[in-house]
Structure 1
Amino acid sequence: MAARDRLIVGLDLTGRSEAERIVETLGETVIWYKIGFQLALSGGLPLVSDLARAGKRVFLDLKLLDISNTVEKGVESALDLGASMLTIHAYPHAMRAAVAAARGSDLTLLGVTVLTSLDDADLEASGYRCGVEELVATRVRQARDAGMGGVVASPAEAAAIRAAVGPDMAIVTPGIRPAGSAAFDQKRIATPADALSAGASHLVVARPIVASADPKAAAEAILAEMDAAGA
């Protein structure tokens, strides 16, 4: 895939007008956008359909987790909106329900393994008796067995995941920071080049682009780094 097919710009913004400004600024530079809770809950959910009609692709990052019936209905609604990717927390029952609802469609379902802002100490504080590496491995195996299209994981786990699942499953990696960028609240991060070399299929970049004084230049610089890495 070309670098433009692998870069997902996270519209982690409040309000549809701000998101539309970024999309207009980026123009044809960017194909993929991520819409998560912040934008979805501030009037941005209809933007999924608008972007899809404009030829863009949308990664709807809602991290669904509920009883099976509710997950199924949520996936059906995401299909109606025109999303290309949708996240499900990687619990087996939720993933099975999502796969059943999306069967026959082009929607790529992604199992969220462990958030990139968490480390072993955070998992221990949450009551888990294993570290990040072990929990990610378990959830990747369960996502593969459930028939999911891919997983969301940090770049730190990408190489091990790629070795476990082979070439076909998507590995979408948040926590991407170009050299010299601030980590913000992320703990398990990598540069675009390092994430790609580890086996990531798609890179999610939000603040280094949308919070930049020149978002288009920031996106172009990341795409150039991805091209240089062989994306």
Structure 2
Amino acid sequence: MIEKVVEQPGGYLNMTHAKLNPSDQAAHPSRLIVALDVSSFEEMKVIVETIGENVGIYKIGHQLFTAQGPKALVYLKEQKKAVFLDAKLHEIPNSVAAAVKEAAIHGVKMITVHASGGKKMMQAAVEAAKPFPDLHILALTVVTGLSDQDLREIGFTLSHEALVVHLAKLAKESGCHGVIASPKEVQLIREQLGNDLLVVTPGVRPADAAQDDQYRIATPKQAIQNGASYIVVGRPIVKANNPAEAAKAILAEMSG
């Protein structure tokens, strides 16, 4: 089963173990995650308040968390928004487990670890999350900014697609709730690993948006059709003149 986000009494979003058909509720706000790719606390507040009820989950990455720390997590929780902490943890198992516990204490709903950190590390993260049933461990396969040439330079011999599926398989075997993969690999993951994993896809751009520094991209509609559980969109929304209208347009494209 794929998990989905549903609205709970009191407004907080919570993960439930319910099967989610990719064609079901395609434009549900809970399937769109907005990446808060900003540094300023005030800019973050303006974006969240402007978007309002159109979006229920926000991703905090290295930029915002380095600048603002847990204060950003607290604010989103106060606004009754679910927090996806894109920590990309890659350390010894004990250190990763400790970080996962701290994230759980702050009410984080999703946190990322590098699948390339290996099974023991991912298993430690999953084990640390067990006392916190709302916290979901997502394993990052290959970042969308890496080209095939980049991977070869690092030393990977597998093709991009084969490496993503291999790492997703390790994540599943380690007990992770889901994986992070580009829209281009979602269908492969579904075909080879089934529907038991959440697949969260960054590198999603509206048809008329700039590619920026992403290589393996797709439109919101393509990502959903390929089987993505959630899509992550940052700059096309947060840098828009009207973030609320930009979010609405992407939701419409998801269902179109």
* TMscore range, shorter length: over 0.9
Larger displacement relative to structure 2 (148-157 or 1-10): 1-10
Structure 1 runs of 4+ with >4 Å offset: none
CA-atom RMSD in angstroms: 1.1
Counterpart secondary structure, 2:157: coil
Residue equivalent to 2:89: 64
Counterpart secondary structure, 1:209: helix
Counterparts of 1:130 and 1:207 in 2: how far apart (Å)?
A: 31
Residue equivalent to 1:128: 156
Residue equivalent to 1:113: 141
Tell me if structure 2 keeps the 8 A contact 1:51–1:57: yes
Residue equivalent to 2:104: 79
* Equivalent of residue 155 in structure 1, options 180, 183, 190: 183
Q: CA deviation at 1:44?
A: 4.4
Residue equivalent to 1:191: 219
Counterparts of 1:20 and 1:54 in 2: how far apart (Å)?
A: 10
* Equivalent of residue 211 in structure 1, options 225, 239, 251: 239
* Equivalent of residue 50 in structure 1, options 65, 69, 75: 75
In percent, how many aligned pairs have the same letter?
46
Residue by residue over 1:89-136, the C-alpha shift from the partner in whole angstroms, topping out at 9 and shown as x without a partner, is: 002222111011001422111000000011210101112122211111
Residue equivalent to 1:32: 57
Residue equivalent to 1:97: 124
Residue equivalent to 1:21: 46
Q: CA deviation at 1:212?
A: 0.7
Residue by residue over 1:154-188, the C-alpha shift from the partner in whole angstroms, topping out at 9 and shown as x without a partner, is: 00000011122322311000000101110000000
Gapped regions of structure 1 (runs ≥ 5):
none
Gapped regions of structure 2 (runs ≥ 5):
1-24
Tell me if structure 2 keeps the 8 A contact 1:49–1:83: no
Task: Flag the structure with higher helix content.
Answer: 1
Give the 3 Å change call, closer, same or farther, for CA 189–88 of structure 1 in structure 2: same
Residue equivalent to 1:5: 30
